Structure 1
Amino acid sequence: MRHRLALLPLALACLPAFAVELSQQNLGATGALVSSCAGMASGSFPIEGGLFDWLPGKSNCNAVMTTTAGQQLATSGAYDQATPSVQADSHGSASYGSVGMYAHFRANANAGFAAAESTAGWTDTWTLTPANSAQIGQNAVLTFNIHLDGVLDGLPIGNSYTRIGTQVWLNNATAGGQNFRVQGQGQGGFPFHQAIDQDLSFSVTVQLGTPFELGIFSRASAGTAGAGPNWFSEASSDFASTLTWQGISGVKLGGNAIAYTLSSQSGIDWTAPYAPVPEPSLALLFGGGLLALALRRRSCRCMPSRSPAP
Structure 2
Amino acid sequence: MTQLSTFRSLKTMLAAGFAIAFAISTAPAAAQAVAGTLRVSAIPDEAPTELQRKFKPLGEYLSKATGLKVVFTPVTDYAASVEGLVNNKLDMVWFGGFTFVQAHARSGGKVTPLVQRAEDEKFRSVFITASNDIKQLADLKGKTFSFGSESSTSGHLMPRSYLLAAKVNPDTDMKRIAFSGAHDATVAAVAGGKVDAGALNISVWEKLVAERKVDPAAVRVFYTTPTYYDYNWTVRSDMPAELKKKITDAFLALDPATAEGKEILALQRATRFVPTNPANYATIEAAARNAGLLK
TM-score (norm 2): 0.26
Higher strand share: 1
Q: Which has the higher contact order (CA 8 A, sep 6+)?
A: 2
Higher helix share: 2
